[in-house]
Amino acid sequence: MRTEISYMRFYVDVSGPTGALPWKYVHGVAHAVVYSLISDQAPALATHLHDTGWQHSSLRPVGISPPVFLGAPKRHNAYMMSPNGRIWFGSPIPVLAASLLAGVTSRRELQWGPVTLTVKGAQLEPMAGPESSTVLETRSPILVKAGENRYLLPDDDGYVAALLANIRHKADLLGLPGDASLEVLSAGPRRRYDVSGGIRIGATAKVRLDADPRLIGALREWGLGLSTIQGFGWVR
C-alpha cells in the first residue's frame, strides 16, 4: 500500500551562546528534539514513532541536521557556536512534517542537550522540480552498515550496494518504485560520534542518484543512510 507523502523541508534560524557544544551533543540529542517537537502537537504519534517506528517498520521517516553556526570562532577539535545558527528539518510523511513545523513555530527556544537555542524564525525551503537523475550532497555524515556491527565509508567495498539497499527499503515503506542506481562522486573525511545507542561512523558524500523523481524528492526531506532522525545524512 502506498503511503501518503509530501515534499516539505524547512529550516529554523537559532541563536546559540558563545562557546563550544560538546561533541556528544552535536548528533546525540537530535532525535530527542524531534520527538519533543512532534509530541507538542501529537503526543501519541511521537510515542508510537519512538517505540515502534512508522507503519509496522523500524524506519523513522524524519530528517534533521545538527545545528550549523555561521561566524563561529575557530577552535581545534571543538564544535563552536554563534548567534547565527540554523537547523534543517524534513519528512516525506505529511503528518510528521506538519507536526515538526507547528512544534518549532510555537516555541521561543529549543533545548539542544545542555544548550538553550533561541528560535528566531522558520522558513520553508522551495523544492526542486521532478527529476529522475540528480546530484545529492550531504551536510552531515551518511551512515552505512555492513551487517550489524561494521560501518562502511564511501571508498569501502559494498558501500554503494548497502546505501542502495537502504534507499530501496525507504522506497518500499513509501510505496514508491525502488529501482535506483548510485555513484559516489566525492566524500568527506571519516567522522566518529558517540550518541545514545553507541558509536556512529560515517562521512559526508556527494552522489549521483538515478531513481523515481518522487523517491528523490522524498530523500531530500528524509536524508540518506541510517539514523537520519539523529541528524545523519541530511541532504543540502
CATH number for the domain that contains residue 82 = 3.30.70.1890
3-state secondary structure 16-54: CCCEEECHHHHCCCHHHHHHHHHHHHCHHHHHHHHHHCC
pLDDT at 2: 56
Per the domain annotation, does 205 fall within a domain? yes
Per the domain annotation, does 225 fall within a domain? yes
What does pLDDT average to in each consecutive run of 10 residues of the chain (236 residues)?
76 96 94 97 95 92 97 90 97 96 96 97 86 94 92 97 97 95 97 88 98 96 97 97
Say whether both 88 and 34 belong to one domain: yes
Say whether both 63 and 20 belong to one domain: yes
What is the residue range of 111's domain? 9-124
Per the domain annotation, does 162 fall within a domain? yes
Last residue of a domain, one of 93, 124, 155: 124
Per the domain annotation, does 236 fall within a domain? no
pLDDT at 112: 97
CA distances from 96 to 4, 37, 42, 61, 171 (A): 11, 10, 9, 8, 17
Say whether both 116 and 148 belong to one domain: no
Say whether both 138 and 175 belong to one domain: yes
Last residue of a domain, one of 94, 124, 154: 124
Say whether both 108 and 198 belong to one domain: no
Last residue of a domain, one of 71, 94, 124: 124
CATH number for the domain that contains residue 223 = 3.30.70.1900
Say if residues 8 and 212 touch (Cβ distance below 8 Å): no
pLDDT at 194: 87
